[in-house]
């Protein structure tokens, strides 16, 4: 199957035009005219994953390999080192990032993983709940299978939650909820949220987005007659 055909199917599932202006979803590496016999799906790319992949394959990830302009393709940074390894094996790469957040990922995690009922509004999923803060924290820990979780207490009673997978603190100005669940929460962002009266629960970036492969695999498995493998890269952080 040609990459163009696969790209068009992905575009129907989650239109690339929905991505943010700063994003780089779409074809990051390869040629639309290339034929591929195997597809790999992963939240990210790492060296171990590339080593396992067959030549002439297509890798579909959540995060783009290329965000900033590349001036030199030499193995001195994450993106260029992996680009060289992939090019040697003729591995193509398509990213589905902020477009997929909007159309699938946020709502899936909020409903299917966390068990909330509500609705998605662009990057944010809102749900009505009736929980004490610490009750909600324990509930989220159990649903995400996390032993420890960072949280910021601003309100004892939580009646509405907002959910954004990945790194969502840049949306804080627009959050209308008692508690915001997202990842990558920084110190000063936590202080800001507390002043605003918004409690926080840090789901971590990886934990909140690792479901990308499962979602896309289930969709593509019914649409594409090509072997598909789910092969998530590992969370770069470890707890010691």
> pLDDT tens digits, residue range 87-132?
999 999 999 999 999 999 999 999 999 999 999 999 999 999 999 9
pLDDT at 232 > cutoff 80: no
pLDDT of 58 strictly over 90: yes
| CATH topology agreement for domains 3-98+210-230 and 100-205 | yes
* Position 240 pLDDT exceeds 90: no
The yes or no reply on domain 3-98+210-230 and CATH 3.40.50.12780 is no
| CATH architecture designation of domain 100-205 | 3-Layer(aba) Sandwich (3.40)
Domains of the chain, residue spans: 3-98+210-230, 100-205
Residue 202's pLDDT is what? Answer: 98
Q: pLDDT value at position 31?
A: 97
Burial-class residue 237 by CB neighbours within 10 Å (0-12, 13-18, 19+): exposed
Q: What is the pLDDT of residues 175-203, one digit of tens each?
A: 999 999 999 999 999 999 999 999 999 99
The neighbour count for residue 89, using CB atoms within 10 Å, is 13
Token pair, residue 229, equals 């493998």
Total-model pTM:
0.94
pLDDT at 233: 81
| 158-178: average pLDDT | 97
φ, ψ (nearest 5 deg) of residue 178: -80, -25
């Amino acid at each position: 199957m040609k990459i163009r055909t696969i790209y068009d199917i992905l575009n129907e599932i989650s239109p690339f035009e929905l991505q943010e202006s700063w994003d780089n979803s779409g074809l990051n590496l390869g040629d639309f005219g290339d034929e591929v016999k195997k597809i790999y799906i992963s939240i990210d790319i790492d060296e171990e994953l590339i080593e396992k992949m067959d030549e002439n394959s297509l890798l579909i990830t959540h995060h783009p390999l290329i965000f900033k302009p590349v001036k030199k393709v030499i193995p001195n940074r994450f993106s260029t080192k992996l680009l060289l390894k992939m090019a040697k094996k003729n591995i193509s790469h398509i990213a589905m990032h902020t477009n997929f957040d909007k159309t699938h990922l946020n709502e899936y995690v909020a409903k299917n993983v966390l068990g909330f009922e509500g609705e998605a509004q662009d990057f944010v999923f809102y749900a009505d709940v009736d929980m004490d803060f610490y009750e909600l924290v324990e509930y989220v820990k159990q649903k995400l299978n996390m032993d420890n979780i960072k949280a910021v207490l601003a309100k004892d009673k939580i009646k509405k939650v907002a959910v954004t997978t990945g790194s969502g603190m840049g949306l804080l100005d627009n959050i209308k909820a008692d508690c915001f669940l997202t990842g990558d929460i920084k110190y000063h962002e936590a202080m800001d949220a507390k002043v605003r009266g918004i409690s926080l629960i840090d789901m971590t970036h990886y934990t909140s987005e690792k479901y990308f492969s499962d979602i896309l695999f289930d969709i593509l498995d019914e649409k594409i007659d090509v072997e598909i493998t789910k092969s998530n890269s590992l969370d770069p952080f470890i707890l010691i």
